[in-house]
Amino acid sequence: MNTVRIPKTINYGKDALSDTQYPKNALVVTTAPPEVSKKWLTRMKIADYMLYDKVEPEPSIETVNRVIAEFKPKNPSAIIGLGGGSSLDVAKYAGMEMKIPKILIPTTFGTGAEMTTYCVLKFDGKKKLLQDERFLADVAVIDSYFMDGTPEAIVKNSVCDACAQATEGYDSKRGNEFTRMMCKSAFDVLYDAIMNNKHENYPFGSMLSGIGFGNASTTLGHALSYVFSNEGVPHGYSLSACTTVAHRFNKSSFYEKFKEVIEKLKFDKLSLKMPVDQAADVVMTDKGHLDPNPIPVTKDDIMHLLQDIVNGRM
The contact set with Zn ion (CB under 5 A) reads 161
Q: How far is the CB of 126 from Zn ion (least distance, A)?
A: 18
Q: Which amino acid is at 285?
A: T
CB 293 within 8 A of CB 218: no
Q: How far is the CB of 26 from Zn ion (least distance, A)?
A: 28
Q: How far is the CB of 10 from Zn ion (least distance, A)?
A: 20
Nearest in space to 29 (alpha carbons), one of 2, 68, 75, 73: 68
Q: How far is the CB of 27 from Zn ion (least distance, A)?
A: 27
Residues with Cβ within 8 Å of 313's Cβ and at least 6 positions away in sequence, in order, are 245, 307
Closer CB to Zn ion, residue 144 or residue 167?
A: 167
Q: What are phi and psi of 56, to 5 degrees?
A: -90, 155
- The alpha helices in the chain, defined as continuous H runs, are 16-19, 34-44, 61-71, 85-98, 152-171, 177-195, 202-214, 220-229, 235-250, 255-265, 276-284, 287-290, 299-311
Q: How far is the CB of 111 from Zn ion (least distance, A)?
A: 6
- For residues 86 and 22, give the distance between their C-alpha atoms in angstroms, rounded to a whole number: 21
Closer CB to Zn ion, residue 184 or residue 235?
A: 235
Closer CB to Zn ion, residue 89 or residue 161?
A: 161
Number of residue whose CB is nearest Zn ion: 161
Closer CB to Zn ion, residue 184 or residue 222?
A: 222
Q: How far is the CB of 301 from Zn ion (least distance, A)?
A: 21
Burial of 84 (0-12, 13-18, 19+ CB in 10 A): buried
Closer CB to Zn ion, residue 142 or residue 223?
A: 223
Q: Which amino acid is at 288?
A: G
